[in-house]
């Protein structure tokens, strides 16, 4: 189903949806078993009661608490994750503050160290009633590179340079120049992009985009993490022997300094859930997903829309790349006998996979904002398979759009060894990357109900707190295309 809206109407829809919340959208059997249908669900009372809370004047975590949250996830998710399994990691106390567009502090980049070397970062929330964590990126010197960009902005005449974070995974450098504010988007790993005019034009929508962060449920969840016993000594002590500072010692002193209220601490239940770690076979066994050799000896984690020849394709090509990832994986890994005709040649070959990306771009035929619709995406992937003589059908669910139901949908796809496409409208109006498709390759849940997904985006692997991803989808529900999830069988 193609959707064509003029720019003004689209911006109005997006701004309204961010500000008011909208209704849930889910893959449902409803009127047509082969289409995704919208379903209304009631938001959790705690979240609804505090909807619209501004970030200004929110209570903040202290440095010890920030480090404890980071170390908690080092001990749990990162200890098990394929990118960091077996590594002796520590959390650096050289935190990089992250702000909203109005200059309100609400998160930190915490550099991850191995043998004193920066190997990536974890983004930890700074508010006592906000998310505990947002995402993890494993990329050498990623934070150092951003610090260099901040220094360069100051050297070029800026009176102030900070990092702005738009959850769940988009970062900007904000430089206050004599001529006014300037914004550079750091979303693309290969090339920063000046988005000053787009940011300034859409400040109202951007402010509203932060309103779902603060709520009582997040406060309880964060309190639960901060009041768990300190992380195991075998993980932290060995790691911190390699660091100049001793964040674990600082974390052990956590106590009366906590910004969380005693009533909240007492109210937190210590209930545990069953640990889950579900992944595609290539992710689980080889730490890979659609590995394309785009440089000699260097392999991607899925396709990269930056490989397209035209800038317009690079801007709106995430949907076709997701389709290329899914069809390639099903043809070469899931079941080559059943789905093999959907991809020919070697996955490792850059020229072969790029040709497949180009074919899928033509088939998906995204508009100037990209592929906006789960429904349309599924139609076109099924049509491509039919052209190749393959029977492929989307998998739908009549369940309402809740955290658990969507997680169950993702797990069902991964347990079938099929990648799950996800459309997240987490970016802002009049901007090329706002309608962003990613491919989910892993779902993880620890015993304290912290949930993660691993995704392929821009040819790299990124880990995202699933709660933030789900909330971002819900925050943009009820508008063009219906954000959500899709896999095939």
pLDDT single digits (tens) 144-177: 999 999 999 999 999 999 999 988 778 999 999 9
Task: Write out the H or E segment, with its range, that includes residue 488.
Answer: strand 484-488
Question: Is 209 a residue whose pLDDT tops 90?
Answer: no
Question: Is 266 a residue whose pLDDT tops 70?
Answer: no
CA distance 205 to 209: 6
> Angle CA(49)–CA(55)–CA(58) in degrees, nearest 5?
85
More reliable by pLDDT, 325 or 470: 325
Neighbours of 244 (CB within 10 A): 10
CA distance 278 to 262: 36
Domains and CATH numbers, the chain: 7-47+277-488 (3.90.70), 63-214+228-267 (no CATH)
Question: Is 257 a residue whose pLDDT tops 50?
Answer: no
What's the longest Cα–Cα distance across the chain? 66
Going by the DSSP 8-state scheme, the letter that residue 229 receives in this structure is P
> Angle CA(88)–CA(89)–CA(92) in degrees, nearest 5?
145
Question: Is 406 a residue whose pLDDT tops 80?
Answer: yes
pLDDT single digits (tens) 80-139: 999 999 999 999 999 999 999 999 999 999 999 999 999 999 999 999 999 999 999 999
Confidence of residue 271 (pLDDT cuts 50, 70, 90): low
Nearest alpha-carbon partner for 70 in 16, 135, 157: 135
Burial 362-398 (b: 16+ CB within 10 A, else e): ebbebbebbbbbbbbbbbbbbebbeebebebebbbbe
Please give the mean pLDDT across all residues of the chain. 80
CA distance 392 to 390: 6
CA distance 400 to 290: 32
Question: Is 483 a residue whose pLDDT tops 80?
Answer: no
pLDDT single digits (tens) 47-89: 333 346 889 889 999 999 999 999 999 999 999 999 999 999 9
pLDDT at 265: 39
pLDDT at 252: 32
Q: How far is CA 33 from the centre of its chain?
A: 29
pLDDT at 240: 41
* DSSP characters over 96-160: EEEE-TTS-EEEEEEEEEETTEEEEEEEEE-BTTS-SEEEEEE-TTHHHHHHHHHHHHHHTT-SE
pLDDT at 228: 85
Question: Is 367 a residue whose pLDDT tops 70?
Answer: no
**Residues contacting residue 289 through CB under 8 Å, at least 6 positions apart:** 280, 282, 283, 301, 302, 325, 329, 419, 439, 441, 456, 461
């Amino acid at each position: 189903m193609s959707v064509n809206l003029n720019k003004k109407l689209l911006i109005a829809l997006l701004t309204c949806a961010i500000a008011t919340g909208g209704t849930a959208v889910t893959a449902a059997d409803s009127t047509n078993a082969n289409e995704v249908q919208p379903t209304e669900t009631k938001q959790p009372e705690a979240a609804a009661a505090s909807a619209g809370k501004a970030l200004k004047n929110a209570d903040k975590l202290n440095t010890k608490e920030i480090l404890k949250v980071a170390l908690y996830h080092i001990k749990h998710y990162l200890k098990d994750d394929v990118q960091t399994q077996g590594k002796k990691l520590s959390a650096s106390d050289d935190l990089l503050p992250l702000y909203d567009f109005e200059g309100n502090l609400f998160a930190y980049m915490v550099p991850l160290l191995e043998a004193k070397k920066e190997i990536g970062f974890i983004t930890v929330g700074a508010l006592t009633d906000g998310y505990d964590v947002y995402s993890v990126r494993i990329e050498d010197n990623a934070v150092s590179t951003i610090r260099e960009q901040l220094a360069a902005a100051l050297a070029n005449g800026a009176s102030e340079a900070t990092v702005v974070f738009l959850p769940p995974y988009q970062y900007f450098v904000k430089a206050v120049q004599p001529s006014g504010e300037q914004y550079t988007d750091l979303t693309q790993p290969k090339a920063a992009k000046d988005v000053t005019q787009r940011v300034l034009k859409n400040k109202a929508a951007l402010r509203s985009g932060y309103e779902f962060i603060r709520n009582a449920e997040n406060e309880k969840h964060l309190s639960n993490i901060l009041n768990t016993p300190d992380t195991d000594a075998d993980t932290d002590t060995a790691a911190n022997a390699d660091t100049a500072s001793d964040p674990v010692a600082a974390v052990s002193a956590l106590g009366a300094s906590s910004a969380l209220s005693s009533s909240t601490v007492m109210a937190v239940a210590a209930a545990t859930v069953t640990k889950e770690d579900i992944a595609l076979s290539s992710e689980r066994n080889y730490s890979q997903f659609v590995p394309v050799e785009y440089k000699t000896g260097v392999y991607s984690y899925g396709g990269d829309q930056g490989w397209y020849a035209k800038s317009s394709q690079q801007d709106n090509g995430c949907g076709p790349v997701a389709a290329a990832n899914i069809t390639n994986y099903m043809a070469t890994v899931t079941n080559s006998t059943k789905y093999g005709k959907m991809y020919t040649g070697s996955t490792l070959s850059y020229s072969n996979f790029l040709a497949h990306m180009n074919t899928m771009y033509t088939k998906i035929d995204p508009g100037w904002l990209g592929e906006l619709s789960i429904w349309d995406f599924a139609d076109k992937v099924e049509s491509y398979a039919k052209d190749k003589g393959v029977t492929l059908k989307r998998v739908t669910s009549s369940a309402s759009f809740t955290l658990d139901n969507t997680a169950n949908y993702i797990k069902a796809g991964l347990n079938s060894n099929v990648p799950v496409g996800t459309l997240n409208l987490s970016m802002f109006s009049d901007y090329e990357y706002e309608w962003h498709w990613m491919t989910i390759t892993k779902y993880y849940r620890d015993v304290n109900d912290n949930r993660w997904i691993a995704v392929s985006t821009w040819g790299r692997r990124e880990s995202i707190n699933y709660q933030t991803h789900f909330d971002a989808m819900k925050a943009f529900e009820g508008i063009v295309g219906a954000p959500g999830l899709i896999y095939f069988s």
